[in-house]
Copies of this chain bind each other. A is one copy, B any other.
Amino acid sequence: MSELRWDPLKLHWVIIATDRGRRPRDFQVETEAAEMTSCPFCYGNENKTPGEIFAIRSSGPPNSPNWKVRVIPNKYPALRIEGDLNKRGYGLYDVMSGIGAHEIIVETPDHERGLADLTPAEITDVLVAYRTRYLDLRKDLRFRYMVLFKNHGTRAGATLSHAHSQLIAVPLTPPVAATELKICREFYDTKERCIFCDLIEFELSAGDRVVREFANFVTVTPYASCFPFELRLYPKKHSHDFALMNDGQLSELAVALKDMLLRLKTVLKDPPYNFILHTAPPMQQRLGKPEYWSSISYDYHWHIELVPRLTQIAGFEWGTGFFINPTSPEDAAAFLREAEI
């Protein structure tokens, strides 16, 4: 069982693997990138993963080939689904059991294609799988937030090269989400407007950080980008919850997402990246323990944040919370706009 530990000076939670932890020599092995000879995410290897939770497939029973998208529990989960939180204090610290869910969304059976290479229809299937799992995990009232993210490339933390995303349900609202939700709430309290809607309107009128505008979505480089070629993909119309998108909206999003990934792949030669889906926490879960943003879903605005992993996060960034970005977002947007895709 892992533990969630709270640092009262940094104000962060850490998931600590207290059993079966990694020893010094395990880290020396990591430097040699080892590709598995047999990929557990390929057709025919369905028995090498835990049994599937969800799949979109053309034919056949669960855990057989012929699927298009497949969702499975992570074989080595950061958090485990069974048990109680057992919240307690420890000196000045806080600690609780590592309860949660950790799922893998295998985006395609094709070992050679990345998410950027899939067709919009195939990407739509991936987005449908995201939505399905969001809606299902919301039924578990121990979970306060779901983190959907993708690590592409070894440098971005992917341990398997076969295209996949991950969904982690956590028993606490994560600090990054809590800050955004709080600021949205305060802005709405004062102005009765969504701060993201204001930002999107400002970016559309400024124009120099817009990478591509679609009918209902827009891709921009953030004004205060922490990293070179950082990207945000926003729905233009106000929408607090990704999981409420209908099939038509997911099809449009698939086109915008492919456009963003393909521009990045073209301009930076398939760089490692992480993307994270930011969305409002579900109402049912918030009712578990009312928090001060308990009724603010309407003032949040879901979006996707993408960070290419081109530079190292060094001592300065870690020690300060400041970031040094050697490429202006205006330059990055120009390069991405002009990409021939």
Binding site for B on A (CB under 8 A): 5-18, 21-24, 27-28, 30, 78, 90-93, 145, 147, 149-151, 154-158, 166, 168, 170, 174-177, 179-180, 183-184, 195-196, 198-199, 202, 206, 222-226, 228-229, 267-269, 271, 274-276, 278, 305, 307, 310-316, 318-331, 335
Contacts and interface: CB of A to CB of B under 8 A. Distances in A.
Contacts of A319: 147, 149, 174, 176, 274, 276, 278, 305
> Which of A11, A27, A320, A326 is the most central at the interface, judged by chain B CB atoms within 10 Å of its CB?
A320
Nearest to A268: B24
A274 B147 CA distance: 28
A324 B16 CA distance: 6
Q: How many copies does the complex hold?
A: 2
Given A10-B180, A24-B268, 8 more contacts: A13-B323, A16-B328, A17-B328, A22-B326, A170-B320, A177-B320, A274-B318, A276-B320
Q: Which 3 A-B pairs have the closest CB atoms?
A: A157-B314, A276-B319, A274-B315
A80 to B, nearest CB: 13
A264 to B, nearest CB: 10
A274 B314 CA distance: 7
A252 to B, nearest CB: 23
Contacts of A206: 91
Given A14-B323, A16-B325, A223 B90 contact: yes
Contact of A226 (B6, B14, B312, B322): B14
A28 B157 contact: no
Task: Name the prevailing secondary structure of the A interface residues.
Answer: mixed
B12 A226 contact: yes
23 contacts: A7-B224, A8-B183, A12-B224, A13-B321, A14-B225, A15-B325, A16-B325, A17-B325, A17-B327, A21-B327, A23-B331, A30-B310, A30-B311, A92-B198, A145-B320, A147-B319, A155-B312, A156-B312, A156-B314, A157-B312, A174-B319, A174-B320, A176-B319
B312 A307 contact: no
Contacts of A198: 92
A206 B92 CA distance: 12
A231 to B, nearest CB: 13
A200 to B, nearest CB: 11
B314 A7 contact: no
Contacts of A177: 320
Given A15-B322, A28-B269, A223-B5, A195 B92 contact: yes
A9 B182 CA distance: 9
A10 B224 contact: yes
A11 B186 CA distance: 14
Contacts of A155: 312
A8 B158 CA distance: 30
B318 A276 contact: yes
Contact of A228 (B13, B27, B157, B271): B27
A65 to B, nearest CB: 28
